[in-house]
């Protein structure tokens, strides 16, 4: 039965962000396509069943280009997600629909190739080793701060070809843009990021460079190439998409293992389980928190419910990945489970471009972590662990562990 009374904002408040799974489980059973009000007053439809989310992600009537809804965004919540709305940073393919999306994705795919990702492997191993070396002698560390956070940001900044001496300044602007702050600070960080990237583009245009940014600057398809705004936005997308999500995968994966010691022991005993384990971490506690957003371009039927035109739709990947119809005993972590079809990386035309890089980073991170420490133990109670309060990314604030 579909309940069409609106679910109030409280259900999506701080408690929901700490534990989205119980709300989602109830919605899947009782109201799988449900109108809701989110905390800052944004009204949306939330879709929670696997089949419905998958069909919606493949439905061309559901759109991404939020620039058609400027008033909605000005009024609403996205102040939490400043990078989402700054005009200099949003002209990227995750915010576009065909044909613009097709054009941008083709150009970017030319630069972000499997070969380029694979070529990063030795460097990722090195960065990982350095981070673990820095923990040597410590008994207690925060694995988010010491390991999960610095690894992906260093990798993506190096892939982009940012000079090492610029990394710290750039990382601090990115942090403000991703995590939010005072409006003045955010504006300053956005202006500084844009100015910095434009300068870098000018340099990369002058000389043929081998890095990803250089390849993006020079990428051509049928005489077409990325404009400066598109380049700046694209690099910003790579930084945001390639950074927070992977932090979350590494940290949540370690936590899942710590909470399931028998499976942790099995993984230690048989490292060939690791690739499957990473897929299970993605299914079980995926980095996208609430959902990915779409807009209805026209009245659209989802799961037997007709949604009018011009509505927000939240496709709850986290929920779909725990749908009992698709994954038996979904709330159990099972490293040997068949996770085929999980949607932590999305589905359809916007399917994550960085999935192979994320998988490689996670594999290297877990392999080195297990090689280095025979003993890893949680140094916090369940109540002591907090998930960050962003609507988009589900990520631990900290993961205190004892190591040895
Ligand atoms: C898109 C998840 C890592 C780059 C997406 C989408 C998801 C996702 C769910 C689709 C969003 C939608 O349909 O609205 C993840 C997860 C990651 C991860 C869970 C890590 C565990 C990365 C990395 C990069 C990256 C490392 C690149 C460095 C992108 C890009 C898109 C995207 C460029 C947009 C694709 C398009 O619009 O066609 N990601 N991502 N992601 N991701 Fe990832």
Of 45, 27, 63, 56, the residue nearest 314 (C-alpha): 45
pLDDT tens digit sequence for 326-347:
999 999 999 999 999 999 999 9
Q: How far apart are CA 50 and CA 41, in angstroms?
A: 26
Concatenated DSSP letters of 63-109? E--GGG-HHHHHHSGGGG-HHHH-TTT--SGGG--TTHHHHHHHHHH
What pTM was computed for the model?
0.93
**Cα torsion at 258, 260, 261, 265 (round to 10°)?**
-100
Residues contacting 227, CB < 8 A, separation 6+: none
The closest residue, in CA terms, to atom 30 on ligand 1 is 353
- Cα of 238 vs centre of ligand 1, distance in Å, is 8
- Cα of 105 vs centre of ligand 1, distance in Å, is 12
Q: Which position has the token pair 């799961």?
A: 303
Concatenated DSSP letters of 220-255? -BTTB---HHHHHHHHHHHHHHTTHHHHHHHHHHHH
Of 213, 190, 212, the residue nearest 203 (C-alpha): 213
Q: How many residues does the chain have?
A: 404
In this prediction, residue 146 has a pLDDT band, given cuts at 50, 70 and 90, of very high
- The answer to whether residue 33 scores a pLDDT higher than 70 is yes
Q: How far apart are CA 306 and CA 313, in angstroms?
A: 12
- Cβ of 63 less than 6 Å from ligand 1: no
Of 380, 113, 355, the residue nearest 249 (C-alpha): 355
- The answer to whether residue 73 scores a pLDDT higher than 50 is yes
Cis previous bond, 243, omega within 30: no
- Cβ of 216 less than 6 Å from ligand 1: no
State the closest ligand 1 atom to the C-alpha of 96, by its place in the atom list counted from 1: 37
- The answer to whether residue 82 scores a pLDDT higher than 50 is no
- Cβ of 330 less than 6 Å from ligand 1: no
- Cα of 249 vs centre of ligand 1, distance in Å, is 12
ipTM: 0.99
The closest residue, in CA terms, to atom 5 on ligand 1 is 352
- Cα of 247 vs centre of ligand 1, distance in Å, is 13
- The answer to whether residue 1 scores a pLDDT higher than 70 is no
Please give the residue that has the higher pLDDT: either 190 or 359. 359
Q: How far apart are CA 220 and CA 212, in angstroms?
A: 14
- Cα of 345 vs centre of ligand 1, distance in Å, is 6
- CATH topology for the 9-403 domain: Cytochrome p450 (1.10.630)
In this prediction, residue 40 has a pLDDT band, given cuts at 50, 70 and 90, of low
Residue 76: per-residue pLDDT: 45
Residue 178: per-residue pLDDT: 67
């Amino acid at each position: 039965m579909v309940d069409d009374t609106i679910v109030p904002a409280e259900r999506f408040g701080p408690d929901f962000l700490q534990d989205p799974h119980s709300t989602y489980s109830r919605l899947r059973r009782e109201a799988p396509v449900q109108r809701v009000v989110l905390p800052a007053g944004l009204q949306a439809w939330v879709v929670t069943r696997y089949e419905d989310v998958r069909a919606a992600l493949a439905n061309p009537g559901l759109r991404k280009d939020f620039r058609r809804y400027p008033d909605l965004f000005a009024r609403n919540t996205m102040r939490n997600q400043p990078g989402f709305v700054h005009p200099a940073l949003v002209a990227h393919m995750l915010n576009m629909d065909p044909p613009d999306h097709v054009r941008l994705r083709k150009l970017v795919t030319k630069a972000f190739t499997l070969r380029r990702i694979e070529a990063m492997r030795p460097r990722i191993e090195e960065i990982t080793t350095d981070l673990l070396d820095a923990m040597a002698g410590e008994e207690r560390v925060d694995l988010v701060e010491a390991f999960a956070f610095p690894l992906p940001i260093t990798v993506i900044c190096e892939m982009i070809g940012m000079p090492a001496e610029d990394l710290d300044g750039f990382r601090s602007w990115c942090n403000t843009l991703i995590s939010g702050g005072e409006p003045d600070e955010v504006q300053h960080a956005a202006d500084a990021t844009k100015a910095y990237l434009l300068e870098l583009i000018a340099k990369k245009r002058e000389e043929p460079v081998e890095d990803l940014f250089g390849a993006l600057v020079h990428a051509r398809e049928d005489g077409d190439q990325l404009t400066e705004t598109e380049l700046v936005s694209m690099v910003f997308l790579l930084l945001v998409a390639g950074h927070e999500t992977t932090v979350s995968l590494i940290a949540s994966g370690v936590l899942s293992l710590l909470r399931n010691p028998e499976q942790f022991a099995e993984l230690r005993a048989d490292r060939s389980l690791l690739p499957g384990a990473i897929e299970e971490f993605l299914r079980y506690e995926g980095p996208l928190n609430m959902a990915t957003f779409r807009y209805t371009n026209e009245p659209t039927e989802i799961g037997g419910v007709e949604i009018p035109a011009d509505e927000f739709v939240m496709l709850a990947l986290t929920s779909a990945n725990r749908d009992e119809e698709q994954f038996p005993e979904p709330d159990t972590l099972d490293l040997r489970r068949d996770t085929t079809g999980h949607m932590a990386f999305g589905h359809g035309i916007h399917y994550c471009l960085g999935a192979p890089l994320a998988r490689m980073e996670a594999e290297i991170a877990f392999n080195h972590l297990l090689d280095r420490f025979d003993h890893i133990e949680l140094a916090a109670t369940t109540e002591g662990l907090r998930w960050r309060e962003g609507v988009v990314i589900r990520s631990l604030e900290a993961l205190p562990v004892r190591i040895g």
